[in-house]
Each structure stands twice: as structure tokens, then as C-alpha cells.
A = this chain, B = another copy of it.
Amino acid sequence: VTLMTTHAGAADPLPSWNEGATRTAIIEFVEKVTTEGSADFVPLEKRIATFDNDGCLWLEYPMYTQLLFAFDRIKELAPQHPEWKTTQPFKALLEGDMKTVGASGMKGLMEIVIASHSGMTATEFDKQVTEWLVKTKQARFNRPYNELIYQPQVELLEYLRANGFKTFIVSGGGIAFMRPFTEEAYGIPPEQVVGSMIESEFQIKDGKAEIVRMPKIHFIDDKAGKPVGIYNHIGHRPILACGNSDSDMQMIQYTMAGDGPRMGLFVHHTDAEREYAYDRKSHVGTLDKALDLADANGWTIIDMKQDWKTVFPPK
């Protein structure tokens, strides 16, 4: 593995980041941990960086993309489930009554997610996600969701990898929903994606050995679940972690509590013009306590409007 380091005169590794304290803090951190002989030097195998996905690497507002996928799948599956015509929250969803769907709360949404994410082989589910991403466009930006990724973050991931970091996603979203697109979108292969999981089973189906997805939650990779997901999947404490909401606080705390240099980052959505502005009162990606605790804990807040030259990749 050849490591590219940023020398004076080298190409800007973060062209979509504005000059300022945030960009400087990131570059100083990376230079510090990669300078051999320095007291802050971190050996290659410990350069682990973890990133949340929704609202950190791609759009999450006004509704988590995976939920939109689940809603569309339920509509497609409806002919095979006549019972949904009379069962909530499926009935409301099929009738387009999103208010009732919303009122069904986390319990109702979980039923929709489980019904749309189980009962098929792993291979089939992968194909359903891939096809949905190709055919579905986000209304406001008129682009597929896997193009509504944050260009500055893609550059940050590449910059970290160029400096010997291994980059992981650690998301509350479904691991199997993310894996079909993370390699192409972020350069992160399936085996470096950590996320929530439903139960699955090994079965011989039509004579072929397959994984079949079951209608039961196995692990929720959110809040205090994130450090657990990191321990189970990665087995190291990261030295850099980035999130965008209070659900990422435990991951950032876990990251910052190790020895040696550490960096904890939160993306703050401050840009209603180019993307969305939301934080303390938002129903998705609530960023409240983390804003209050950032200074005292040495967490770095990325101000989308100030720090990012562009938001999405060019069309």
C-alpha cells in the first residue's frame, strides 16, 4: 500500500471544503497522526475512522431514505398481501394517508420496515434495493438518492484512506440496505459497513444454499448500540468518528475516550438553501445535546453552510 501524504504544493485533498477552523482542524489531526516519529503518530492498523450515514454522508431530510424504500416496497408487495387492506399501518400507507402512518409511531414504522425487509433471500433483497435506487428520484433535487451524497464527506473519506485510514460506516440504518451502494458512493466495501440488522437464517432454497431474511430485529446499531456495533464488527476503538445527531454521541464518546489523539465530528445542517437547516427540534437527525456538549468535550462541529463549498457532487 502506497500512502499519499499532503505536501506543500500537492493537490488540495479537500477541494469542496472552505478554508476555516474546521478544515484546518481535520488536516492538522491527519498530519499529526501520520507523522512518523511524532508523539502523536498512530500506526496504520489503528487508523480506524467511523462515519454515520443518514445526514452525515447522504441526505436524510425530510424523511429517512430507507423508510421511503420501505413504503414503496409495501405498495409493490400489496397484491400478495390482501390482509394489508384492513390492517394498520399498512391500510393507511396503501391509501396514502401518511398522517395515520405517522401516528402509528415507531411500532408502526417497524412493522412496515420488517414486512418490506424480510421474507426474501439476501440476493433478492440486494437486487430490490439496487433497482429502487436506480428508478427513484428525490423530488426537490430531481436526482437518485445515491447521488445525494455529500461531496465534502466523500473527499474526507478519500483523504483519510490516502493517509492509511480504514473507513467504516456505522449507521442506525439497515446494513443490508446500505451495502448495495456504499462502495460506489463512498468507496466503502460491504464488509466495512456496520448497521442495524434483522435476523437471518441459512436455508437450502430450491436446492441452493441461501441466506433468508427473517421478520425479527437482530440488532439496532443506534445510540449506545453504535459502540457495541463497532466492538462486534471492527474490534478496535476508532480514532476518528463523524456523526450528525444526538444518536451519534455514544460513538463519539467511545472514540474520544481512547488514548492518544482523537477527533470527533458532527455535521450541523445549517444550509436551507443548498440542502436543509434543522437541528434541535427536528424529528429526523435531532442535534441538540451534542451541540451543547461539543465545546466542553472537544467535539468539532461542521457547519454545512460555512464549511462546505458544495454539498452534492456535480450532476
Contact = CB atoms under 8 A, between A and B. Distances in A.
Interface of A: 1, 45, 48, 122, 166, 168, 175-176, 179, 183, 189-193, 197, 200-202, 204, 208-211, 218, 224-228, 231-236, 250, 253-254, 256-257
Nearest to A224: B202
Top 6 closest pairs, chain A to chain B, by CB: A190-B235, A209-B257, A202-B224, A209-B253, A202-B227, A211-B231
A202 B232 contact: no
Nearest to A207: B257
A250 to B, nearest CB: 5
A254 B209 contact: yes
B228 A202 contact: yes
Contacts of A257: 208-210
Contacts of A227: 202, 209, 211
A233 B235 contact: no
Contacts of A191: 48, 166, 168, 191-192, 233-236
A45 B179 contact: no
B211 A228 contact: yes
Contact of A45 (B122, B183, B200, B250): B183
Nearest to A193: B235
Contacts of A232: 175, 197, 200, 218
B45 A189 contact: yes
Contacts of A193: 235
Contacts of A210: 254, 257
A225 B211 CA distance: 10
18 contacts: A1-B1, A45-B183, A45-B189, A122-B231, A175-B232, A175-B235, A190-B234, A190-B235, A190-B236, A191-B191, A191-B192, A193-B235, A201-B224, A201-B228, A202-B224, A204-B253, A208-B257, A233-B233
